[in-house]
Amino acid sequence: MTFDLFGDLAPVAQADERLGEQAWVLRGFALPHVAAMLPALDDIVAQAAFRHMVTPGGFTMSVALSNCGDLGWISDRRGYRYGRHDPETGRDWPPMPDVFLQLAHDAADRAGFPDFVPDACLINRYLPGTRMSLHQDRNEQDFAWPIVSVSLGIPAIFQFGGHARSDKAQRVPLQHGDVVVWGGVDRLRFHGVLPLKPASHPVLGEKRINITFRKAG
Ligand SMILES: O=C(O)CCC(=O)C(=O)O
């Protein structure tokens, strides 16, 4: 155990790194769940294939995405929003696997957000060179719930900024199995991912999968 640097002297586990008052990196937190997560992920993308969505401004996102859960995040020329159906098939998004729900709940709890039950799970697939520019997550109805973001596969540099796009962003290296949780006073902080360097992961190959849980509805 160690003591945090933000003054309240609450004991935290050694593998937890504080990014903000209510924002944490939980190093390796997802590792015990990965063996169960990967087949569940394959099932999801067999039903709702990865695709490159278009932004309202007309740009094609470099990251490919899919969703599971009651609500899926969608972007097209009409805007960003959540929807109950996959726009490519017209079907419901695949259900959220129990192993995903449990991991999201437990990570949120560890970061100080008890009772988190996500209804939306966005799955991002990054290949070397792809990135996600700085943005805020604002499409959810209630900002009281945190964001739980799981990294699998090749490493990435996560940017964690402030409440203005121009605020200097921390650069946080993320590895396979790391989980970032942010909420409360940090819920609307800008964040993004720098272009991925070429690399290969022994299980996932030359890609990074990010699984991000939200309570959107
Ligand atoms: O890939 C990541 O680590 C972050 C993903 C993200 O920012 C998002 O889905 O809003």
pLDDT per position in the chain (217 positions), as tens? 444 444 444 445 668 999 999 999 999 999 999 999 999 999 999 999 999 999 999 999 999 999 999 999 999 999 999 999 999 999 999 999 999 999 999 999 999 999 999 999 999 999 999 999 999 999 999 999 999 999 999 999 999 999 999 999 999 999 999 999 999 999 999 999 999 999 999 999 999 999 999 999 9
Predicted pLDDT of residue 10: 44
Q: For residue 108, what are the CA distances in angstroms to 79, 80, 147, 150?
A: 29, 25, 8, 11
E-state strands within the chain:
2-3, 11-12, 16-20, 23-26, 64-68, 72-76, 79-83, 120-126, 132-135, 147-153, 156-160, 170-174, 179-182, 191-193, 208-214
Predicted confidence at residue 2, as pLDDT, reads 45
pTM above 0.85, yes or no: yes
Residue 182 phi, psi dihedral angles, 5° rounding: -140, 140
Q: What is the CATH number of domain 2-214?
A: 2.60.120.590
**Contacting residues for 124 by C-beta, under 8 A, at least 6 apart:** 63, 64, 65, 132, 209, 210, 211, 212
pLDDT of residue 15: 83
**Ligand 1 test: best mutation among 148, 149, 150, 160, most atoms within 8 Å of CB?**
149
- CA 8 vs CA 4, 11, 148: distances in Å: 7, 9, 23
Please calculate the CA angle 59-65-66 and round it to the nearest 5 degrees. 135
Domain parsing of the chain, residue ranges:
2-214
Q: How far does the centroid of ligand 1 lie from the alpha carbon of residue 191, in Å?
A: 7
List b or e across 137-163, with b for residues whose CB sees 16 or more CB atoms inside 10 angstroms. bebbeeeebbbbbbbbbbbbbbbbbee
Joined together, the tokens standing for residue 182 give 């942010």
In the reported structure, the alpha carbon of residue 40 is separated from the centroid of ligand 1 by a whole-number distance in angstroms of 20
Q: 137 in ligand 1 pocket by Cβ < 6 Å? A: yes
According to DSSP, the β-strands at 170-174 and 147-153 are unpaired
Cα maximum dimension of the chain:
51
Of all protein residues, whose CA lies closest to atom 10 belonging to ligand 1? 137
Nearest in space to 147 (alpha carbons), one of 136, 155, 158? 136
Centroid of ligand 1 to alpha carbon of 104 (angstroms): 15
